Amino acid sequence: MSGMTTGFRALRLPSLTPAQRVMGLFGFWLVLAVCGPFFAPYAPGQIIDTEVFAPLSHRHWLGTDYLGRDLGSRLLYAVRYTVLICTLSTAFSCGCGILLGIATTATPAWMEQVAGRLMDGILSIPSLLCALLVIAAFGDSLLALVLTLGVIYTPGAYRTSRALALRIARMDYITVAVARGEGALFIIWREILPNMRGPLLADVGLRFIYAVLLLSNLSFLGLGVQPPLVDLGSLVRENVLGLVYGSGAVILPTIVIGVLTVGINLVLDGTSRR
């Protein structure tokens, strides 16, 4: 008995720092996104059955979708595109937001004003409508999706990083660096940024989740990855009629979205709680 518990304890993951835990979970999804489709038994556009919304069976484990395609395969592709688009757009929004957020702590006040008004403006347009407009104007290519989601969530990243940077900029070690005569880039890159890592990570995670959600809701307006590829939200959307037949084609992708977002959120919550 006690041997077993020791065994389990030995099996338990080494105690990870919160950042490692976030990166670990995130890494898992990235790996799934990159490698998952290689294990898909069918092509994403291949119709394999005349029965639509087929239930789970030995032939196609997760059933079929509204066209009679293999749901399991499509799910693997959907994870790829949701995770990749959201990762890239998060990288974009956080990159821009953080850069702007830190930069405006050092630039003249009017620049901060301009940036602030700009961000307020973006924030004030409902995100779904903003996405609709931008994608209608520039098409729904992968790049357009990534940039749209990126721009929409830039203000949030800007606000968070600016608040953080302002606090850090007041720290004495920044004073010392300024008094030493260090350049602005060195101060931003070496002195400020490394100290924002923890809270920023939580913020980045949050932005990622928002991106997943907006991407899901975009599918409602018929926007998303080009067929036959699919993202998770579009997968739910295109199969939503299966709901009345209790089809897994609606339920399974919803669960995957839930596991993706709730999982990362819980780990992030854990980081802020400790």
Partner 1 sequence: MSRAHMISVRNLDIVGHRPDGGTVPIVRDVSLEVREGQMLALIGESGSGKTTIALSLLGHVRPGCAISGGQITVAGHDVTSMTRHELRGFRGRTISYVAQNAGTAFNPALSIAQQVIEPARVHWAMTRQQAERKMIELFRALALPEPETIGARYPYQLSGGQLQRLMAAMALITDPEIVVFDEPTTALDVTTQIEVLAAFRAVLADRGITGVYVTHDLAIVAQIADHAVVLRHGQVRESGTVARILGNPQDEYTRELVAACRIPPRATPCAPMASAREDRVLDLSDVIVGYGNRTAEGLPERRILDHVSLSVPRGSTLGIIGESGCGKSTLARTISGLQPWAAGQVVFRGEALAPAVADRTREQRRRLQIVAQNADLVLNPAWRIGATIERVLTFFHGMKGAEARAEAMRLLDMVRLPHALLERYPAELSGGQKQRVNFARALAARPDLVLCDEITAALDPVVAAAILELMAELQETLGISYIFITHDLHAVRAVCDQVAVLYAGHVVEQCDSQSLTAGAHHPYTRLLVSSVPEMRAGWLADAMALRHAEGAPAAQRRADGGCQFFSRCDMRMPGQCDRGPVPVHTLPDGARIACYRSCADLAFPGGVAPAAPLHSYES
Partner 2 sequence: MRGGRAPYGKAGALGRRQALRLAGAGLFAATLPARAVRAAGAQDPQPRRGGHLNFAGLAASTADTLDPARFALATDYIRGHMFYDGLVMLDAEMMPHPALAERLESDDLQTWHITLRRGVTFHDGAALTAADVVYSLARHKDPAVGSQQRVIAQEMADIQAVGPLDVRVTLRGPNADFPSMLGIVSFSIVRNGTTDFSQANGTGPYTCTEFTPGVRTSGQRNPDYWRSPAPWLDSVDMIGISDDMSRHNALLSHDVDIIASVNPRLVRLLRTRGFGIMESPVGTYTDLAIRLDEGPGRSQDFVTGMKYLFNREQVRDSVFLGFARMGNDQPIPPEHRYFAADLPQRPFDPDRARFYLRRSGMMETGVPLVCSPAALASVDIAVVLQYAAQQVGLSLPIRRMPADGYWTEYWMKTPMGFGNTNPRPSLDMTFALNFASGAPWNESRWRDPRFDQLLLAARAQRDEAVRRQIYHDMQVMIHEGAGICLPAFTTSLDAFNPRVRGLAPSQAGQLMGFDFLSHVWLDDAAGGAA
Partner 3 sequence: MNARLARLVLRRIGAALCSLLFVVVAIFALTAALPGDVADMLLGQNATPDATQALRHALHLDQPLWLRFMHWCGGMLHGNAGNSLLTGRPVSEMLAPRLYNSLLLAGATTLVAVPLALVLGLACATWRDSVFDRVMTVLTLGIVSVPAFLIATVSVFVFAVQFRVVPALSDIRSIHSVGQFFLTFAMPVATLASITMAQMIRMIRACMIDVFSAPYMEMAVIKGVPPVRIMLHHALPNAIGPVANAIALSLSSLLGGVVVIETIFNYPGLAQLMVDSVMSRDVPIIQACTLLFCMTYLFLTTLADIVALASVPKGRGA
Binding at 181: pick from partner 2, partner 3, partner 1, none (beta carbon under 5-8 Å per type): partner 1
Instruction: Please identify, among the stretches 8-16, 161-169, 188-196, 255-263, the one whose residues bind partner 3 according to the rule CB under 8 A.
Output: 255-263
Distance CA 267, CA 149 (A): 23
**Residue 146, token pair as written in the block:** 């990534």
The minimum distance between CB 108 and partner 1, in angstroms, equals 14
Rounded to the nearest 5 degrees, what angle is found at the Cα of 67, between the Cα atoms of 61 and 73? 35
Examine residue 87 and tell whether it contacts partner 3 (CB under 8 A): no
Q: How far is CA 149 from CA 145, 152, 263, in A?
A: 6, 5, 21
**From the list 64, 105, 160, 261, which residue makes contact with partner 3 (rule: CB under 8 A)?**
261
Residues 6+ apart with CB under 8 A from 31: none
DSSP letters spanning 120-166: HHHHHS-HHHHHHHHHHHH---HHHHHHHHHHHTHHHHHHHHHHHHH
Contact residues toward partner 1 (CB under 8 A) are 15, 171-173, 175-176, 178-182, 191, 194-195, 197, 274
Contact residues toward partner 3 (CB under 8 A) are 113, 116-118, 120-121, 123-129, 132-134, 136-138, 209, 212-213, 216-217, 219-221, 233, 236-237, 240, 243-244, 250, 254, 257-258, 260-262, 265-266, 269, 273
Contact residues toward partner 2 (CB under 8 A) are 43, 45-47, 50, 52-53, 66-68, 135-136, 139-140, 221-223, 226-228, 240-245
